[in-house]
Amino acid sequence: MQASRRELIKGIGAGAALAGAMGAPIAFAQPSAPSQPSTSERTMIIDCHGHYTTAPRQLQAYRDRQIAGLKDPALMPAQDTMVISDDELRASVASQLRFQRERGTDVSIFSPRAAGMGHHIGNAAVSLEWSQVCNELIHRICTLYPQNFIGVCQLPQSPGVAPANCLGELERCVKEYGFVGCNLNPDPSGGYWTDPPLTDRWWYPVYEKLAELDVPAMVHVSASANPNFHGTGAHYLAADTTAFMQFLTSDLFKDFPTLRMIIPHGGGAVPYHWGRYRGLAQDMKRPPLSELLLTNVYFDTCVYHRPGMELLLKVVPADNILFASEMVGAVGGIDPFTLNYSDDTKKYIDAIPWLSEADRRKIFEDNARKVYRLTQLPAAR
């Protein structure tokens, strides 16, 4: 068995030596100058939402063969036919590492490309093969760059198939790879929403396993197969909003008090409509939102303009916000209004004058440490 991710994280105190020995570039590994704040003073910047959107072309070629194999089983590829060298992997994340350096991100919580999960394609067996292939690449990236990436897995979901079929891959990724969470797709059908809501007992085996492993899930749909929904412009945000409302109307977190769910993309429409949700909860005699959120529901900061970011930070308690950029991701360009990358979300947060240092630290570091149980991650240097 390979060294687990947890072991690597444990060993990260000697991270420079370890990564150096593996031939990996070392970001942020310069020895601190005496004028730098001490390790315990500088806030570590943890980006909880990064996807491997820059994988070498072999990955998509493998997927294409897999899809061809659905029609003609003779074409179905074996997993070991997808060969990518370590050098190719390094080259593939060069842009990711450059963005980390340029933007001041210390480490990204890193998962397979969300749109690529494609749970609606094929069947559960195909989904399992594909998830294993994708998760292994994440593990290899995390092993090559243990200071820069912490893994989160894709699950082998399939529409109409009980999510209990995902437990093996989830456990494997956490126990063997040291991954710290998973992406959970609330709509494996890809935009037709044919499976039960996340609060249905249909999903409970996943939550039992998450509780047992003590890792969180990010609620994240994949590509839309429905022509009504643009992926990053509609399906993602609609799913985030939908999941929150499912949580609001159920007692899921009474059944799983330690379950942590991250709703990405700034929580979809939720913070913008905070008053609506507060009012709906009240009308429905549900607990106040703060009670619902508390230790179970978190929003990331993937909101690509300052007014939106300010709104998020104004209405959602700082304890429930995790820094994220979704880079290299949904929106790749430079905003002509700010001349910064739209998805350089740290800049929006840094520009907010009324955000207290304590809240800033929660958002950038402490909450991620808490939610993902990053107890082994050393302090920022």
Report the residue number, 144 or 309, with the smaller CB distance to a copy of itself: 309
Alpha-carbon distance 160 to 39, whole Å? Answer: 49
208 labelled catalytic = no
State the minimum distance, in angstroms, from the CB of residue 139 to a copy of itself.
Answer: 30
Class of residue 56 by CB neighbours under 10 A (exposed 0-12, middle 13-18, buried 19+)? middle
State the minimum distance, in angstroms, from the CB of residue 277 to a copy of itself.
Answer: 7
Alpha-carbon distance 8 to 14, whole Å? Answer: 10
Which DSSP state fits 233?
Answer: I
CA 270 to chain centre: 19
Q: Which region holds residue 250: left if phi is over 0, alpha if psi is between -120 and 50, else beta?
A: beta
Alpha-carbon distance 177 to 42, whole Å? Answer: 29
Class of residue 174 by CB neighbours under 10 A (exposed 0-12, middle 13-18, buried 19+)? buried
First to last CA, the chain: 31
By CB under 8 A, the residues from 328 to 367 that bind a copy of itself are 330-333, 335-337, 342-343
Q: Which of 12, 280, 318, 352 binds a copy of itself (CB under 8 A)?
A: 280
Query: Which of these ranges, 51-59, 170-178, 237-245, 365-373, lies near a copy of itself under the rule CB under 8 A?
Result: 237-245
Report the residue number, 208 or 310, with the smaller CB distance to a copy of itself: 310
Between strands 182-184 and 217-219, the pairing is parallel
Binding mask 121-160 for a copy of itself (x = CB under 8 A): ----------------------------------------
By CB under 8 A, the residues from 243 to 272 that bind a copy of itself are 244-246, 248-249, 265-266, 268-269, 271-272
State the minimum distance, in angstroms, from the CB of residue 57 to a copy of itself.
Answer: 21
By CB under 8 A, the residues from 4 to 43 that bind a copy of itself are none
Catalytic residues: 326
Residues making contact with a copy of itself (CB under 8 A): 186-187, 191-197, 200, 226-230, 232-234, 237-238, 241-242, 244-246, 248-249, 265-266, 268-269, 271-280, 282-283, 303-308, 310-311, 314-315, 330-333, 335-337, 342-343
